[in-house]
Amino acid sequence: MDCCAPSSKVETAKTNCPSCGEKGKSVPLITLKSLLTASSLETIEPENTYSFCPTSSCNTVYFSDTHTQTFEEDALKVPVFQKNSSLQVPVCYCFDWTRDRLIQSVNDNQRPIEHIKNHVQSNRCGCEVNNPQGACCLGNVTAYLRSLN
């Protein structure tokens, strides 16, 4: 399975974040199962569809399509790139490229994008269980590197 392929899931009714109103992106249930802390995981309703809110100014990370449940960053075992501006936060979760490591790498004239792409193409990435957005990080890495210039 190619974890970086666009999701073919049909969009369900409430795909907008109940907190900020912006459109969320539906994530596979396995992403929540993998990344939520135990006490939060114990509250999920597997029949619901959950979406990820990418808005950086919004505290909600996941919300259910019923709008009855939301999870914030403290419900996850990992910091969330979109919600947390710390240099220690991963941009690429699978291969542990933090903002800090990306900056170092660019300063050393390395090519982190190519490095990550090689692993992705070799089918080594596991974005759906590592990355809170439940999808490939390459877009975020590209945008972040561009923002450094």
Alpha-carbon distance of 8 to 22, in angstroms, equals 21
82 touches Zn ion (CB under 5 A): no
Minimum CB–partner distance for residue 94 and Zn ion (Å): 24
Q: Distance between CA 80 and CA 72 in Å, rounded?
A: 9
Tell whether residue 53 is a contact of Zn ion (CB under 5 A): yes
Site for Zn ion in 14-43 (CB under 5 A): 17, 19-20
Q: Which is nearer to Zn ion, 19 or 105 (CB)?
A: 19
Q: The tokens of 145 are what?
A: 């590197």
| Helix axes of 138-148 and 112-121: crossing angle, nearest 10 degrees | 170
d(CA 15, CA 53): 9
15/55 with CB nearer Zn ion:
55
Q: Is 133 in the site for Zn ion (CB under 5 A)?
A: no
The residue from 51, 60, 70, 131 that contacts Zn ion (CB under 5 A) is: 60
Closest C-alpha to 50, from 78, 79, 88, 76 = 76
Binding interface with Zn ion (CB under 5 A): 17, 19-20, 53, 55, 58, 60
